[in-house]
Structure 1
Amino acid sequence: MVIAAEWLLFLSTNLHILVVSTSRTSNLTFVATIFRHGDRAPIDTYPTDPYKEEIWENGLQQLTKEGVRQQYELGQYLRKRYEQFLSPRYNKRELLKFPSKNCPRYYELMKETTQLPEYQNQIKSWKGFTECLANYTGYNKDHTSTHRIWKVYDTLFCQKSHNFTLPDWATPDVLKTLQEISAFDIKSHIGLYKITEKARLTGGILIDAVLRNFSEAILKSSPLKMVMYSAHDSTIIALQAALRVYNGIHPPYASCHIFEFYTEHDGTFSVSMFYRNDSSKDPYELVLPGCTSPCPLEHFTQLTAPFIPQDWRKECQVTEQSQRSDVTTVALSITVGVLGVLLIAVLFWGWRMHTATTWSHQNA
């Protein structure tokens, strides 16, 4: 669904963009970015949705033409911002791209949040609404979960942004209530209950990954200069919540959180953060609470330490059995892939033999 970061930078290598760079390239040492994908089609449809998958040019979950444009524009911007830092042409040794990760234990905490007595009244107040919504959407009213409600909201939001005619029941009040429920869902992700623990199991893992990538690049003296994480809105929210810089505004498509690491004149390191959530403006600077910008790396590490797990596998309750299951899944995938290649080879060989036999008969 997300266009590869390498491709974004490759496409924009020789394009000139009138953007003023605010990056300190003179002593810039390493960059890490976490970017959200561009505009997309809905994740899924609800049973009575009049617009099925065929209506979307690339299918459900996929980038639209506008999404492709947004990702391309982001790639252009990053190329221009770091044109003095990266090689003129894409170098795979300088830049790496990673997907974001999920933690099973984190979702248990979310469920616990919605079961707290102080929030049950708020959830109960939506019960009549969700039962009514079930009648219109074709869901069973006894199983209209928060996830299904979000699916309806996501679908309507995508349709509205693409100027589709919404169903009659999707009134402004309905959309407002759906937005309130969606906002509460975000709060349950990052706040309300066991905030620090949630941060450690989501955004904290990503902070740790960024810091580790920087340390490894320095210690190994490798040519690696930049890492890019493809992410979702929830990933950026979790990251910024763990950093305590989340502004409460939903990350727009193609938004990008930037870490810039610098080597100071005394040989120490510092880090600045920027957030690009408007393509018509330069990113604005984010300041970690308790520090300045740029923040000395040692101080930055101390301030973020409470939100970074020491052993995320243990805290996420990843058992040896689940790890073996993951390995088994990968092994099966590889086996199926190999068998598929062999099957294609056998079929091709059979076709060649058949063609050769037919040719020899025709020319006998």
Structure 2
Amino acid sequence: MEKLIITKLFCILLVILCIQDCGTVNLNTLRLTNVLYRHGDRSPVKIFKTDPNTLSSWPQGFGYLSKIGMRQQYNLGKYFRERYNGFLNESYIFSEIYINSSNVDRCLMSAYSNLAGLYYPNSDEEWNTNITWQPIPVHTIPEPLDNLISLQRACPKYDQLYHQSLKSPVVKKEEIENKGFYEFVSQKSGQSKETIETIWQVADTLLCEQRHNKTWAPWVNNTIYNKLRDLEKWGFDLLFGGRTVSKLKGGPILGQIVNNIQMKIAGQLDYKMMMYSGHDTTVAALLNAMQVYNLESPPYTATVIIELHEENNQYFIYSYYKNNTWPNTTSIHNLTLPGCDFRCPVDQFIAITKDRIPVDWEKECSINQHGQNPVEFSKVAVTIMSILGGMVLLLTMIIFICQCRQKNTKTTKYSLLEENGYQDS
């Protein structure tokens, strides 16, 4: 009995130590932190045709940050304050933090809500006694130009690889196994044809309605809902599975973080925190590029933290994942990249992530109309040009020979005329 009690106490102690290790940070060695989080709770992006909850059920319309989401982000900002207080000044200093957001309203609003929790204005910073908030700049670019956070910049190679994955034997097998379920959902939801590519929309709508205590359509029960959510997760994994795909989607943000780290070590970066406000796709893409994705779609405010520490004149990377679950937790987990310890030397971290970061993203995203990459296309182009060059040379020689023969014929003709007494007048 005593041994059992001692064993239980030992296990509890290990859990406490793990929580402390994951939840605290040595500010004395910390030099830079990069944080990427998903926006907070939102209304559904769209609804299905037979949904009893219409547009009027959502005050701000579709895809907007809710009050719940604002509170979630505010609490996440307070968590950052607690974690980094003493590293980040309590008062906002523009040279300490840089905030970059997807140019989508819910992400921009999440960033502002987060900063309200991170920087509570003191008496010197108050500009209106009725508002305990101060404006802090959030930077963004249009979605069609953004391959870093919103991931909406066109990448034909990624599109090609994604659609190839949808035609893979594994997906075809899944579609056959769930054919009846897809047909059932299509009929009941009023959608044209549900597939693994589109089923997330129904699942996401039901999730949002559940979170906001709205009544589901009569055909939905917990069994159907859980099945939809499982398919959603599986379909979500198809978006970023594979080395090339994760490189094209998660590589740019990972490359930006690595660049931040290198600049900080070189003394070329003053900022102490680089903050990125994005989507579940952004978080999943980064985790995939880091090779630590656990096949779970990131929930609201899910956060990746990558810290740079200097210890005895050597630099190390500490990576964490704050995987918040509904309604809210403060859990944070260590992330260990394949081929490295949790306390990863910076050179090793850079070496491990190197082949997941594009050198020339636009070039690597390019394909021609036949689906070839630029290198393959250039080889074909050289071959074609060689053939065309040979044909032009041959045609030139034929024309030259014909002209010579025609000249000889003409000379012979005039010689015969002269012999018969005819002269040019």
What TM-score do the two structures reach when normalised by structure 2? 0.65
What's the counterpart of residue 114 of structure 1? 166
Q: Is the 8 A contact 2:175 2:196 kept in 1?
A: no
Cα offset, 1:138, TM superposition: 2.0
Give the counterpart letter for 2:160 in structure 1.
E
Cα offset, 1:145, TM superposition: 4.6
Alpha carbons of structure 1 residues 128 and 261: separation in structure 2 relative to 1, 3 Å: same
Instruction: Tell me the percent identity.
Output: 32
Inter-partner Cα distance in structure 1 for 2:50 and 2:180:
19
Inter-partner Cα distance in structure 1 for 2:48 and 2:197:
12
What's the counterpart of residue 219 of structure 1? 266
Inter-partner Cα distance in structure 2 for 1:313 and 1:101:
16
Give the counterpart letter for 1:130 in structure 2.
Y
What's the counterpart of residue 216 of structure 2? 166
Instruction: Tell me whether 1:123 sits opposite 2:175 in the alignment.
Output: yes
What TM-score do the two structures reach when normalised by structure 1? 0.75
Cα offset, 1:289, TM superposition: 1.8
Alpha carbons of structure 1 residues 147 and 121: separation in structure 2 relative to 1, 3 Å: closer
What's the counterpart of residue 235 of structure 2? 185
Among 31, 52, 77, the alignment partner of 1:29 is: 31
Q: Is the 8 A contact 1:106 1:198 kept in 2?
A: yes
What's the counterpart of residue 176 of structure 1? 226
Secondary structure of 1:290 counterpart: coil
Secondary structure of 1:128 counterpart: helix
Q: Which residues in structure 2 correspond to 1:284-323 (within 5 Å)?
A: 284-317=333-366
Cα offset, 1:140, TM superposition: 2.3
Cα offset, 1:263, TM superposition: 1.9
Q: Deviations over 1:289-343 (max 9, x none)?
A: 2112321100111111121111111112299xxxxxxxxxxxxxxxxxxxxxxxx
Inter-partner Cα distance in structure 2 for 1:200 and 1:232:
17
Cα offset, 1:146, TM superposition: 4.1
Unaligned runs of 5+ in 1: 1-19, 320-364
Among 187, 190, 195, the alignment partner of 1:135 is: 187
Secondary structure of 2:199 counterpart: helix
Could you say which structure has the larger radius of gyration?
Answer: 2
CA RMSD of aligned residues (A): 2.1
What's the counterpart of residue 251 of structure 1? 298
Cα offset, 1:76, TM superposition: 0.5
Inter-partner Cα distance in structure 2 for 1:30 and 1:318:
38
What's the counterpart of residue 402 of structure 2? none
Unaligned runs of 5+ in 2: 1-21, 103-148, 369-425
What's the counterpart of residue 141 of structure 2? none
Q: Is the 8 A contact 1:57 1:64 kept in 2?
A: no
Inter-partner Cα distance in structure 2 for 1:36 and 1:151:
18
Alpha carbons of structure 1 residues 123 and 254: separation in structure 2 relative to 1, 3 Å: same
What's the counterpart of residue 310 of structure 2? 263
Among 314, 318, 328, the alignment partner of 1:272 is: 318
Secondary structure of 2:239 counterpart: helix
Inter-partner Cα distance in structure 2 for 1:182 and 1:307:
25
Asked which structure has the greater RCO (Cα within 8 Å, sep 6+), the reply is 1
What's the counterpart of residue 277 of structure 2? 230
Give the counterpart letter for 1:173 in structure 2.
T
Cα offset, 1:149, TM superposition: 2.2
Cα offset, 1:162, TM superposition: 1.7
What's the counterpart of residue 128 of structure 2? none
Secondary structure of 1:285 counterpart: strand
Inter-partner Cα distance in structure 1 for 2:367 and 2:57:
40
Give the counterpart letter for 2:350 in structure 1.
T
Give the counterpart letter for 2:220 in structure 1.
A
Secondary structure of 1:250 counterpart: coil
What's the counterpart of residue 46 of structure 2? 44
Cα offset, 1:288, TM superposition: 1.5
Give the counterpart letter for 1:269 in structure 2.
Y
Q: Is the 8 A contact 1:40 1:64 kept in 2?
A: yes
Among 199, 203, 207, the alignment partner of 1:149 is: 199
Cα offset, 1:23, TM superposition: 1.2
Query: Where do 4+ consecutive residues of structure 1 move more than 4 Å?
Result: none
Inter-partner Cα distance in structure 2 for 1:82 and 1:94:
12
Q: Is the 8 A contact 2:49 2:190 kept in 1?
A: yes
Secondary structure of 2:270 counterpart: coil
> What count of residue pairs does the alignment treat as equivalent?
294
Inter-partner Cα distance in structure 2 for 1:101 and 1:281:
26
Inter-partner Cα distance in structure 2 for 1:149 and 1:243:
27
What's the counterpart of residue 254 of structure 2? 207
